[in-house]
Structure 1
Amino acid sequence: MTMTLHWSPRSPYVRKVMITLHETGLLPEVALQRSVVALHLPPNAAVLADNPLGKIPALVTGDGPALFDSRVICEYLDLRAKAGLFPAEPAARLRQLRWQAMGDGLLEMLLLWRTELLREAGPWQGITSGWQAKVQATMTALETEAQDLAGAPFGIGQIALVCALGQLDFRWNDADWRGHFPQLAGVAAAWQARHSVSATMVQDDQPDAVDVTAGQLRFSAG
């Protein structure tokens, strides 16, 4: 049975699913359907047919309702393949879910921040200042936990963080996060050596005319 994934090479949440597909060995069972969605565009009718929220990723499994939200899709794939990305042991599972929450939360802030910068009226400074503080705090916490991240088996938590850090590289590459968080940078370099990570780098197939994020995010020492 072939599954179909509403997919975009620009989406970090889609990347979470793609890394999981590589790690579980299920990639050959999935057909990729290029689906364009954006907050400023009308809803994509094909995506809406499978996900009433109009978001990607959305996975059509063929054996039930389509699944959406990267967290749900990744857990489904892990259960299907019995790959252990979501550990069964409670303490290990909670650790992975906590890291996933940090990665997904960091990623959401970065995406919303960029959207705010694109507003014609200009960004709301109170909101962007809050995101600056929260992104800094999250990266500082991850720097503190770098050795734990390195020592734990590669799971959904590390996958989520790969995608969040990849978004920093993709849209905020002048912020020099590696220079400020060297322990985390070392762990991320080890993750990059995995085929599932290196093979799923975000690709910009529809380049933007203006880099609105340049100079907007500045880190202090971790």
Structure 2
Amino acid sequence: MKHAMKLHWSPRSPFVRKVMIVLHETGQLDQVEQVRSVVAMHLPPNAAVMADNPLGKIPTLVVEDGTALFDSRVICEYLDHRAGGSLLGDRRFVQLRWQALGDGLIDLLLLWRTELSRPSGPWDAVTEGWRAKARAVMATLEAETPALAATPFGLGHVAIVCALGQLDFRWSDANWRDHFPQLAKLEAGWAARPSVAATAIVDDAPDGADVTAGKLRFNG
């Protein structure tokens, strides 16, 4: 079967997961060839990814005319536009703001984990700042659960789903649901969506012990 597009993909990446949820939500999954692509800060650049994206990052989407799109925000908006724009709808900037919160939390968690894995040890002043920001983002989302619940599922919700999924995947001992119960209730509803259930993070290439255990606390 010939696909219209090619996606550099990993089942471990929260940003790739954003794209996959959008593909499911917009009915475009069968139009994309998923190419398993390994990239990491501590590894040499992936030559196949670099051929399409000079930043060497995933997700990267190559569309019908050969143009490569990156990052996840651009890809998701492109796919939504291609399918009629239902995931941004008439509350575009509300959704984009929530997307920025979700993406920002993902970025923070990914950088934090890399910092914790340094042989010389993490820079505590930096990680303390990330801890404060993670708490603030989660508190903001908890406060905005009425608005999130009242707004049709869109790109902002997708990003938040993926950020919370990253907490579950890499920071499970943070027990975020105990501290943000309204957000947890909302997330349980999102988790039942077919697009979310079908794209759950899979650790297909475990990289050793979880360096983040005990490092993110929401209670003190």
TM-score for both structures, normalised by structure 2: 0.97
Q: Distance in 2 between matches of 1:123 and 1:185?
A: 30
Q: Distance in 2 between matches of 1:219 and 1:123?
A: 20
**Structure 1 counterpart of 2:18:** 16
**Structure 2 counterpart of 1:146:** 145
SS at match of 1:174: helix
**Structure 1 counterpart of 2:57:** 55
Deviation of the 1:64 alpha carbon:
4.3
Instruction: Give the counterpart of 1:2 among 1, 4, 17.
Output: 4
**Structure 1 counterpart of 2:186:** 187
- What 5-or-longer segments of structure 2 have no aligned partner? none
Q: Distance in 2 between matches of 1:4 and 1:134?
A: 35
**Structure 1 counterpart of 2:157:** 158
**Preserved CA contact (<8 Å) 1:85 1:154:** yes
Instruction: Answer yes or no: is 1:42 the counterpart of 2:38.
Output: no
SS at match of 1:53: coil
**Structure 1 counterpart of 2:213:** 214
Q: Distance in 2 between matches of 1:120 and 1:220?
A: 28
**Structure 2 counterpart of 1:176:** 175
SS at match of 2:172: coil
Q: Distance in 1 between matches of 2:200 and 2:85?
A: 22
Q: Distance in 1 between matches of 2:85 and 2:28?
A: 10
SS at match of 2:173: coil
**Structure 2 counterpart of 1:106:** 105
RMSD: 1.0
Letter in 2 for 1:189: A
**Preserved CA contact (<8 Å) 1:9 1:203:** yes
- What 5-or-longer segments of structure 1 have no aligned partner? none
Letter in 1 for 2:103: D
% identical aligned pairs: 67
Q: Distance in 2 between matches of 1:111 and 1:213?
A: 10
Letter in 1 for 2:60: A
**Structure 1 counterpart of 2:93:** 94
Q: Distance in 1 between matches of 2:219 and 2:158?
A: 25
Q: Distance in 2 between matches of 1:58 and 1:47?
A: 8
Alignment size in residue pairs:
218
Deviation of the 1:83 alpha carbon:
4.1
Q: Distance in 2 between matches of 1:157 and 1:200?
A: 17
**Preserved CA contact (<8 Å) 1:8 1:34:** yes
SS at match of 1:204: coil
Deviation of the 1:210 alpha carbon:
1.1
Q: Distance in 2 between matches of 1:46 and 1:64?
A: 14
Bigger mean CA deviation after superposition, 59-68 or 37-46: 59-68
Letter in 1 for 2:34: L
Letter in 1 for 2:170: R
Q: Distance in 1 between matches of 2:155 and 2:8?
A: 20
**Structure 1 counterpart of 2:87:** 85
TM-score for both structures, normalised by structure 1: 0.96
**Structure 1 counterpart of 2:67:** 65
SS at match of 1:4: strand
Deviation of the 1:2 alpha carbon:
1.9
Q: Distance in 2 between matches of 1:41 and 1:217?
A: 26
**Structure 1 counterpart of 2:119:** 120
Deviation of the 1:62 alpha carbon:
2.1
Instruction: Answer yes or no: is 1:196 the counterpart of 2:198.
Output: no
SS at match of 2:174: coil
**Preserved CA contact (<8 Å) 1:104 1:160:** yes
Letter in 2 for 1:154: F
SS at match of 1:5: strand
